[in-house]
Structure 1
């Protein structure tokens, strides 16, 4: 940098300009930003899982044996115990819970141990039955009025109501109409009983004909037929050759009825559900597996007719 010497002083060139120049404009500073406050997030509500359906229990009857209880994991299972002449312990699960059949010589401790050995299967089936029961209870019931639609043999029939001095019912097949005559003071319950009686009459006639047909195919003879009203147990067969069929099968198509008939008649040869049993069923009803699945599905779709 050039300098000029004046006397004893030395001046820097441009020193005056630098010292007297206008200071740069001061830019206004923005006010400090407020601190960032994270948004308040409400905690997510806890996930409320629906409680599992209650396990079905056998009904308590005044003349029946007392129910037994057994803790299976987190479930307290009630079951009915029946002694018999059979050689092994048997289990039956339906809408009325667990029923155990055991030889007279088997101790209670042995029965409990046998149940524990199958507790996974037992609890699973009981929960499944409980869920089905809840689903059925949630279905809207049929309104018992003129024009109501009722399930019959896989199709639908129409209820036609008339007033008369006494109750009676008649089915008109060409129009698929069930005509029911009721008294002017008759109750809805009386109407339902009349319709139920007609369904049961139809069921007995049809079941007897199908039993005779399939018994001839299988070469067996059954002793008697009786109707049951179990929730979803469609049939049973005893060692005395007695057949019980659920009259509600009359709501289903004939092939599904035939499957249950073939199933129960096959028990006259095989009192179990072994491969030999299913081979016996297949010999007179080849598509038994498809019918079994269809029956399970269709039973969940039926409207509530009779509580």
Structure 2
């Protein structure tokens, strides 16, 4: 990708990443890094600039919305706010000569360790704890829905994807993003039902949504809630 800058008539400018591909149209995408422009390899600079200027209002609106929704990155320090199953909890660090346990006590996620003053160590221990909580919870949900559907699942595993909450393949293998364990239970259930619906329809056709509706009737509202939560759930690397 090539770093570029779009000069606006009002004197302001927008920095963006240009990705030239074998395609016919120009595509605009707002990512965590800002504006990404996918354009045909043979497009002229003048033509590209004209299109971007025409879309500048939309681009500025989306970039402003992205900025407003920015969430402070994790610091892995004592008192850091966390989420678990939709509940607010607090990271609590304690120096301990030998104990390296991570335990949830009330609303405190307690990390005891001689290395509790090292953010990288704390991050690793906390992420391990979240994964340990996520897998059995997700497996239980999948197994219950599989029984309801009369289906058999080959495996359930955790995913670390940045852009997908789950996946289901033709081998009946389900993968679910461990970050979901931070979300309220009904959001987790929605994603599980979405992936399980793919056992019947490996697409997003009307038939697929009919299956999803039968498994989770309030999927449209849950989808909106998950989108609103996404930035918070991705605070964790």
Give the TM-score normalised by the residue count of structure 1. Answer: 0.57
Equivalent in 248, 255, 261 of residue 179 of structure 2:
248
Residue by residue over 1:163-204, the C-alpha shift from the partner in whole angstroms, topping out at 9 and shown as x without a partner, is 1225221112xx221111121486211110000000011110
Offset of 1:217 from its aligned partner?
1.9
Correspondence 1:145 to 2:97: no
Runs (4 or more) in structure 1 with deviation over 4 Å come to: 74-77, 134-138
Instruction: State the shift of 1:244 in Å.
Output: 0.6
Larger gyration radius, structure 1 or structure 2: 1
Cα drift, residue 275 of structure 1: 0.5
Is the 1:140–1:304 Cα contact (8 Å) retained in structure 2?
A: yes
Query: CA RMSD for the aligned pairs?
Result: 3.2
From 230, 234, 244, the counterpart of 2:161: 230
Counterpart in the other structure of 1:213 = 144
User: Hey, what's the Cα distance between the residues in 1 that align with 2:63 and 2:182?
Assistant: 22
Task: Report if the CA contact (8 A) 2:183-2:233 is conserved.
Answer: no
CA distance in 1, matches of 2:102, 2:117: 14
The total of aligned residue pairs comes to 200
Q: Is the 8 A contact 1:227 1:244 kept in 2?
A: yes
The residue aligned with 1:158 is 90
Q: CA deviation at 1:277?
A: 0.5
Task: Specify every segment of 5 or more residues in structure 1 that has no aligned partner in the other structure, as ranges.
Answer: 1-44, 58-67, 78-93, 98-126
2:101 to 168, 171, 174: 168
- Structure 1 residue aligned with 2:45: none
CA deviation after TM superposition for structure 1 residue 74, in Å = 4.2
| Residue 47 (structure 1) aligned with residue 5 (structure 2) | no
CA distance in 2, matches of 1:283, 1:223: 22
Task: Write out per-residue CA displacement over residues 212-232 of structure 1, whole angstroms, 9 at most, x where no aligned residue.
Answer: 121122221211011111113
Distance 1:185 1:211, change over 3 A: closer
**Structure-2 change in CA distance of 1:301 and 1:198 (3 Å):** closer
Q: Report if the CA contact (8 A) 2:174-2:195 is conserved.
A: yes
